[in-house]
Amino acid sequence: MEKELDEKKQGTSLVLEQKAENTKKLFIESYGCAMNFSDSEIVASILTEQGYNTTQNLEEADLVLVNTCSIRDKAEQTVRKRLEKYNAIKRSINPGMKVGVLGCMAERLKDQFLEQEKIVDMVVGPDAYKDLPNLLKEVDEGRDAINVILSKEETYGDIAPVRLNSNGVNAFVSITRGCDNMCTFCVVPFTRGRERSREPQSILEEIKDLWDRGFKEICLLGQNVDSYLWYGGGLKKDFVKATEMQKATAVDFAQLLEQCAIAFPKMRFRFSTSNPQDMHEEVLHVIAKYDNVCNYIHLPVQSGSTRILKEMNRQHTREEYMELVDKIKRIIPGCSISQDMISGFPTETEEDHQDTLSLMEYVEYDFGYMFAYSERPGTLAARKMEDDVPEEVKKRRLQDIVDLQQVLSEKRTKRFLGQTVEILIEKESKKSDKHWSGRNSENVVTVFPKEHYKPGDFVLVKVSDCTTATLIGEAVGYSEMQIV
């Protein structure tokens, strides 16, 4: 499983519109991938109906929740420090405060948190958020509360997430939960369960609601969106047991993406994350066919060595990955491709590392998420493989990967110089309150003078300059996507 970790968002505390009748205060913050932030919106929606308003003042909170990630050791250590902070405030300022852990780390460390360390009152796994009202009653009555049961059916398709800290322009819509891939380095199949897909109509209804509220871009979200398969409910692995009618009327990801593009022609669509072995050519043709589906694919590979890919149980070879990249470039010329890469996986040699660097040069990634290997308890790699690559070697190889990506990113960004690109304005530029910031279809950040434009506008920008990862230009008018 791959995670897109936006370091700028880590630890964000969430705020939504206050309801006058709600009297209790909720402080909720999130760590990890986009799926965790999306899940926090579901939790906030449930607790709003239980009388909670969000607060950013930790000291006044009646309930403090942290949505956690187990993908890297650094994320777990950060969450532990936050739990220490919560409990210090609980002891000295607010003894009535209740503390709960949500998400992947909750499922993995349930006994440790509740019974051994006694640092939380409540542990709630990723499939148990609807049980929050019952768990809160348990806590109010003085008992520890826990539900980390993984579901075969739960997709939260019937809950309209509250959009937290939203810019009103972009939103995530979850379409799958869980993962079947069992990569040896990853905890997700154990913390989020097996793969299941959400009913298409509920997805389209959620997008319609977002469109009515003025949102302009949707990212279809899942641990592995390309393996989306709706045949009436249930686990993907049980599709083989489906009836002939269910199989005949099943909806796969290419069909879902096309339904979205057709139903909302003025809404822009992205998706994440893709696993190479599950990305079928039909999806590429949908991207090429519809202008409102972005020319961008996040295509994690983790290593350029076929031997290491086999050790990781990635279910594809270096050559198969390269063939897929060739297909992407042929069907969608100019498509941006980004990567996830791990340096120093067990048994990785210098030859394996060179294979990774040469693969990066072959693909010419636009950008990437790059990490040194971090052994995660409970994974097959932790149980069966010795973490035998020295830390200094991991760091040196990681730096090689980062340095090469910098060169590739600069080259790929420069291809837009002199071109006119379509930008969806998302927010004010971080560096200047006189400039807007948005992304083009290829996911490259672009800044330009504000003039009379506003967030949510689709604008044509003539690119005159760039940094390694940002385009700089001036608006020359609205694009065809703009509703007049």
Binding residues for [4Fe-4S] cluster: 33, 69, 104, 179, 183, 186
CA dist., res. 144 & res. 429, Å (int)? 45
Structure tokens given for 126: 């990723």
Residue 195, SS3 per DSSP: coil
Considering only CA atoms, which of 145, 150, 143 is closest in space to residue 125?
Answer: 150
List 54's β-bridge partners, or say none.
26
CB of 294 within 8 A of CB of 269? yes
> Shortest CA distance to 369 belongs to which of 360, 361, 378, 380?
360
Q: Can you tell me the distance from the alpha carbon of 286 to that of 266, in angstroms, rounded to the nearest whole number?
A: 16
Q: Which residue, among 151, 134, 101, 128, has the nearest Cα to 42 in the 3D structure? A: 128
Tokens for 293? 């589906």
Question: Which contacts qualify for 175-179: CB closer than 8 Å, 24 or more apart?
Answer: 175/203, 175/220, 175/221, 175/222, 175/225, 175/228, 175/256, 176/222, 176/223, 176/224, 176/225, 176/227, 176/228, 177/126, 177/127, 177/222, 177/223, 178/150, 178/223, 179/1, 179/223, 179/224
Q: Which residue numbers belong to the known binding site?
A: 33, 69, 104, 179, 183, 186
Lookup result for tokens 């379409």: 175
Distance CA 174, CA 54 (A): 22
How far is it, in rounded angstroms, from Cα 129 to Cα 43?
Answer: 6
Tokens 């990681």 sit on residue: 398
Beta bridge partners of 103: 68
| Element containing residue 133 per DSSP (H, E) | helix 132-140
Distance of alpha carbon 253 from alpha carbon 175, whole angstroms: 9
Q: Tell me, what DSSP letter sits at residue 238? A: G
Residues 6+ apart with CB under 8 A from 189: 1, 178, 179, 180, 181, 182
Residue 394, classed as helix, strand or coil, is: helix
